Amino acid sequence: MRPWEAPFATAHLPGTGGRTRESLGDFLVEEIPLYEPCGAGEHLYLRLEKQGIATLEAVARLARALGVPRQAVGYAGLKDAAATAIQTFSIQGASEAAAAGLDLPGLRVLAVARHRNKLRKGHLRGNRFHIAVRGVPAGAEERARAVVEVLARRGVPNLFGRQRFGSSGNTHLLGRAVLAEDGPAFFAALLASLPGEAGAASLQRLQAGDAAGAGDLLPQGFALERRALQFLSRNQGDFTRTLRRFDRTLKDLYVSAFQAEAFNAVLRARFERYDRLLPGELAWLHRNGAVFLVEDLDAEQERAERLEISPSGPLFGQKTARPAGAAAELEDAVLEGCGIGREAQAAAAALPPGARRPLRVPLRDCVLAAAGDALSLSFSLPPGAYATAVLREIVKGSPDEG
């Protein structure tokens, strides 16, 4: 099973079928800010409409256009490139007039205001999604409503979606290699992820011991990979040193994809009862994101049935809280199967801090409407949750690949 796949929580109900993302306007996500800019301070808050580009590419374009380092640009969350996103970025040290007058491909400035602090990951109340599913049959609205009723009652399985694992679907393998400091495995996965035949040809040349020649085979647009192979060649095939010098931001993203793979594996292991607490559970309090050890299982299960709290799973790391009892036994076994058990974590080169994540999230303010052969959906999810976790249940397909 691929790392983003899982059973359906509503397998007993038929899906609507249909096609998603026929155009960028068919998938709109709008950030719900945690706070509004106060109007004063050294950081500009830009509310932007972003189309067809990833968040990190938007960061790079903003930094270049405004003459600031990338580190001066902040954002609250990553948004999919294959969508329209209304998203806020903070920029330190830029001219307000220059920011308001930006004219960049894929980016449109909606508002500019000042605030005192940099926007950081997690500075979100949630996201509101507006999605069109096209080519649905008659009765699709009724089918969708039946699915939504179940998800509103049980919660939405909090799967990391397909986009979390990169365009090639293998960034978790890169993250695994980063933590193990396995340079050959890292470059094998990196080159295998490139489109077309160039990546395979480059990998074959690299495995023959010709790193410089491997870089020469890469087409334009893969400058980072080419530079890494050139560095590897200059350092006489020292994979470990080359991996350590590789772009830190990208390596962090790869490791986070590995965390996502392991979390999804824990969720799959509990999928039939993802809304039920286990003995020793670390429960997630939806009101404020606090995590606590469940001591009175029966009493806390009543709160879980009201979706006040939920079971949680691990984003493995140095500071990830560990459950007890049956919850710990299950979690340990799954992480071991993913290759990141307790011994592997202790030996990892640069283990991230880690965290807990709820196994499910509440579905809020869902609105459905059908017109012809199109179904429109609007709903809100907490930060970090994927709209595709809702869509896959409604469509009974793979909206990430539709």
Instruction: Give the other-Cβ count within 10 Å of 94's Cβ.
Output: 23
d(CA 204, CA 200) in angstroms, rounded, equals: 6
Helices 198-207 & 183-192 angle (0-180, nearest 10): 160
Cβ–Cβ under 8 Å, residues 214 and 203 = yes
* Residue 20 exposure: Cα atoms within 13 Å on the Cβ side: 24
Q: Are strands 84-92 and 27-33 parallel, antiparallel or unpaired?
A: parallel
Instruction: Give the other-Cβ count within 10 Å of 369's Cβ.
Output: 11
Residue 80: active-site member: yes
| Terminal CA-CA length for the chain | 18
Nearest to 103 by CA among 49, 28, 25, 56: 49
3-state class (DSSP) for residue 73: strand
What residues does 89 pair with on adjacent strands? 46, 75
* Residue 234 exposure: Cα atoms within 13 Å on the Cβ side: 8
**Residues near 296 by beta carbon (within 8 Å), at least 6 away in sequence:** none
Output phi, psi for 194, to 5 deg.
-75, 145
DSSP letters spanning 173-242: HHHHHHHHT-HHHHHHHHHHTSSTTHHHHHHHHHHTT-HHHHHHTSPTT-HHHHHHHHHHHHTTT-HHHH
Cβ–Cβ under 8 Å, residues 18 and 135 = yes
The enclosing H or E element of 62 equals helix 55-66
Nearest to 75 by CA among 61, 87, 89: 89
d(CA 199, CA 214) in angstroms, rounded, equals: 9
Catalytic residue, candidates 26, 80, 275, 400: 80
Q: Which residues are catalytic?
A: 80
